[in-house]
């Protein structure tokens, strides 16, 4: 016993392998289960095909700026081809299929996502920069759960909407952002297919790899050709798709700026539209809350996925009597977060998604300081290459500061205080957005009161960032309209 102990001590003294800033060894996820092609085509009518324009661009790993693969830029002709394929499939096969059969295909997709979940998780992390822990435990299982959930509804639509005759809409054009690439694809594709619609999906230009792996799964699941089509490329491809006359329904998730332009383009048409846009959520922390748990919830609310989250709790409103204690505990907790290699299972905060997003975050850090707020960042080491941002907290923020009004989409928390419930509600609702909010208090009656008065589509009480396929999600004001998830998510793809 004493010999063993002395050996350990000797080893540690002789070979100090541990850097005091990084108190544990790296635990890198292996990339072996992922086979990246040199380049990818489009997925149209059940087949991978080249783009008619033959233009390609690189998708990179934001953690080291290395090139991963080349992605095809779709043309207007490709959009035509994909919409036509979706139309043919809708009219001749998918809408005529027995609903229970449609459900079987969806179950198959869900199971295949589960079978290949490791591959999906690694790919999502490589392409997007999010920690492997999050892609493995949140993004991919939730994507499978959405397919399972909507598979179950496929043959029960008349029970979901009694005394009505739910019918599919036709061809759905779906455009998604880069922050939860596979999960957003699942949110869009699963309810559309369950209701009998066919789909043309455009993933974000910087994160197409998991959508293309999903296309492989759709082939593997033997879906009728044209039921799901995937077109890669930049904004103009999305624009050509949502404005295509052959489309019956548009489902968009992304920035408020683009959402507004889509709504303008669809004005005076009878095409159905749902918009899931930006947010600037208020996280309210009352003095009676369990402070340690609340601090954990606030950290999860803003630093999860590098703050690239539409519903991120980016504004903390804390009751003045506990604000010093809360801010101190927040700083302590921020100091324990590990920023670094996203494939490392110990990493809490991965890479900022792109140089462009990194620049945006830097501008907001400068703007916050220029407006007189006080910035705090823990002194954690950052990798040498790639795009990185330390978790950041601003105190002394006022309502008019840009960091308190505008969506930053990064790991930046703006802290303000309040003295009364009315002041907290006033400050929380003083935003053009209205996607989500969080409340920390032990008083149930206060939760119910705030839930009725906060103008946000989703309100979490004594928790944050909880998602379930059965629960609808969507916004007020400039956060958009329409709901995804649950029965509400089905009704967006049906006419009665």
Catalytically active residues, by annotation: 276, 310
Work out how close the CB of 240 gets to ligand NAD at its nearest, in angstroms, rounded to a whole number.
8
Binding residue for ligand NAD (CB under 6 A) from 70, 104, 234, 271?
234
Instruction: Quote the CA–CA distance of 308 and 356 in Å, as a whole number.
Output: 13
Region binding ligand NAD by CB under 6 A among candidate stretches 21-29, 39-47, 72-80, 230-238:
230-238
HSE-up (13 A, CA, CB side) for residue 24: 11
- In terms of Cα–Cα distance, which of 240, 227, 277, 272 is closest to 257? 277
Judged by CB under 6 A, the number of residues near ligand NAD is 29
Site for ligand NAD in 394-413 (CB under 6 A): 407, 409
CB of 163 to ligand NAD, least distance (A): 31
Q: Which is nearer to ligand NAD, 217 or 242 (CB)?
A: 242
Among 128, 238, 472, 486, binds ligand NAD (CB under 6 A): 238
Helix (H) or strand (E) holding 319: strand 315-319
Task: Tell me how many helices (H) and strands (E) the chain has.
Answer: 18, 19
C-alpha–C-alpha distance, residues 436 and 439, integer Å = 11
For residues 163-222, which are near ligand NAD according to CB under 6 A?
175-179, 202, 204-205
φ, ψ of residue 21 in degrees (nearest 5): -80, -20
Q: What are phi and psi of 339, to 5 degrees?
A: -105, 130
b/e map 103-123, b = 16+ CB within 10 Å: bebbbbbbbbbbebbbbbbbb
DSSP structure string for 456-491 = -SEEEES--S---TTS-B--SGGGEE--BSHHHHHH
Three-state DSSP at 275 gives strand
**Can you read off the two tokens belonging to residue 348?**
């809490």
Candidates 242, 289, 318, 373; binder of ligand NAD (CB under 6 A) is 242
143 vs 435, beta carbon nearer ligand NAD:
435
Contacting ligand NAD within 473-492 (CB under 6 A): 475, 480
Per-residue binding string, ligand NAD, 90-109, x by CB under 6 A, is --------------------
By CB under 6 A, residue 435 contacts ligand NAD: yes
**Cβ at position 205, least distance to ligand NAD in Å:** 5
Which part of the chain contacts ligand NAD (CB under 6 A), choosing from 11-19, 143-151, 276-284, 379-387? 276-284
Binding mask 309-338 for ligand NAD (x = CB under 6 A): -x----------------------------
Q: Which stretch binds ligand NAD (CB under 6 A): 22-30, 51-59, 238-246, 282-290?
A: 238-246
Binding site residues, ligand NAD, CB under 6 A? 175-179, 202, 204-205, 234-235, 238-239, 242, 253-255, 258, 261-262, 276-279, 310, 407, 409, 435, 475, 480
């Amino acid at each position: 016993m004493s010999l063993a102990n002395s050996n350990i001590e000797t080893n540690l003294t002789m070979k100090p392998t541990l850097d005091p800033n990084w108190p544990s060894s790296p635990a890198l996820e292996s990339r072996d289960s992922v086979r990246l092609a040199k380049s990818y085509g489009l997925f149209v009518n059940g087949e991978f095909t080249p783009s008619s324009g033959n233009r390609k661009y690189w998708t990179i790993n934001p953690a080291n700026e290395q090139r991963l693969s080349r992605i095809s830029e779709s043309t207007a002709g490709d959009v035509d081809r994909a919409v036509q394929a979706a139309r043919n499939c809708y009219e001749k096969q998918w809408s005529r299929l027995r609903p229970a059969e449609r459900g079987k295909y969806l179950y198959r997709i869900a199971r295949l996502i589960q079978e290949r979940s490791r591959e999906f998780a690694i790919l999502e992390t490589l392409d997007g920069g999010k920690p492997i822990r999050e892609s493995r435990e949140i993004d991919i299982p939730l994507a499978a759960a959405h397919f399972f959930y909507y598979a179950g509804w496929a043959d029960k639509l008349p029970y979901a909407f009694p005394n009505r005759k739910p019918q599919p809409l036709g061809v759905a054009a779906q455009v998604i952002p880069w922050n939860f690439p596979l999960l957003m694809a699942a949110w869009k594709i699963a309810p559309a297919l369950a209701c009998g619609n066919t789909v043309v999906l455009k993933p974000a230009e910087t994160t197409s790899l998991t959508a293309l792996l999903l296309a492989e799964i759709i082939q593997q699941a033997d879906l009728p050709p044209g039921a799901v089509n995937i077109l890669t490329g930049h904004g103009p491809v999305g624009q050509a798709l949502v404005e295509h006359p052959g489309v019956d329904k548009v489902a968009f998730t992304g920035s408020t700026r683009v959402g507004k332009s889509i709504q303008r383009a669809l004005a005076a048409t009878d095409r159905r539209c749902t918009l899931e846009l930006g947010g600037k959520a208020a996280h309210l922390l009352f003095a009676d809350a369990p402070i340690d748990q609340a601090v954990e919830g606030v950290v999860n609310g803003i630093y999860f996925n590098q703050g690239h989250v539409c519903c991120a709790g980016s504004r903390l409103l804390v009751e003045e009597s506990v604000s010093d204690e809360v801010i101190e505990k927040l700083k302590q907790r921020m100091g324990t977060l590990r920023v670094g290699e996203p494939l490392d299972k110990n990493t809490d905060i991965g890479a900022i998604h792109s140089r462009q997003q990194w620049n945006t975050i830097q501008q907001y850090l400068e703007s916050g300081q220029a407006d007189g707020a006080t910035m705090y960042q823990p002194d954690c080491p950052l990798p040498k290459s790639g795009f990185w941002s330390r978790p950041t907290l601003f105190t002394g923020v006022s309502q008019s500061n840009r960091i308190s009004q505008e969506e930053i989409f990064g790991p930046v928390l703006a802290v303000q205080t309040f003295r009364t419930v009315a002041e907290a509600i006033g400050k929380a609702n003083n935003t053009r957005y209205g996607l989500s909010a969080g409340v920390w208090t032990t008083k149930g009656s206060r939760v119910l009161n705030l839930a009725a008065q906060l103008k946000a589509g989703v309100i979490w009480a004594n928790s944050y960032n909880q998602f379930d396929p059965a629960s609808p999600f969507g916004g007020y004001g400039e956060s958009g309209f329409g709901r995804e998830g649950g029965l509400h998510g089905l009704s967006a793809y049906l006419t009665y």
